[in-house]
């Protein structure tokens, strides 16, 4: 998951990888957002912020194939979707 906020700041977090076809969807990821002066947001900052949080979700797919007797692993990060949340909305929910 990639989270972009305040126009140019972003954080990337990954969930644990499980083998098989049934992924775990109940893992909690924490994203500690900071203001422009590198402090944590307080209530006043949230009330006056026009910041949008852009969340992009990806799935990691690994392909295994052989080439001249060597096993080659190819990784692909597949885009699943994205959504935006106004930072101010976090205060009201």
The 3-class secondary structure across the chain, one letter per residue, is: CEEEECCCEEEECCCCCCCCCCCCCCCCCCCCCECCCCCECCHHHHHHCCCEEEEEEEEEEEEEEEECCEEEEEEEEEEEEEEEEECCHHHHC
Domain ranges of the chain: 2-13+34-92
Q: How confident is the model at residue 91 (pLDDT cuts 50, 70, 90)?
A: low
Lowest mean pLDDT among 4-8, 49-53, 60-64, 70-74: 4-8
The pLDDT of residue 60:
82
pTM: 0.63
Q: Is the pLDDT of residue 2 over 70?
A: yes
pLDDT digit string, tens, across residues 34-43? 666 666 667 7
Our CA angle for 38, 43, 44, nearest 5°, is 80
Question: What are the φ and ψ backbone dihedral angles of 63, each rounded to 5 degrees?
Answer: -105, 135
């Amino acid at each position: 998951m990639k989270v972009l906020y305040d126009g140019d700041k972003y954080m990337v977090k990954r969930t644990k990888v499980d083998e098989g076809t049934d992924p775990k969807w109940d893992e909690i990821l924490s994203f500690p957002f900071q203001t422009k002066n590198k402090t944590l947001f307080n209530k006043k900052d949230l009330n006056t912020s026009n910041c949008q949080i852009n969340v992009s979700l990806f799935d990691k797919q690994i392909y295994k194939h052989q080439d001249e007797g060597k096993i080659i692993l190819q990784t692909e990060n597949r885009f699943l979707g994205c959504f935006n949340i106004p930072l101010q909305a976090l205060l009201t929910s």
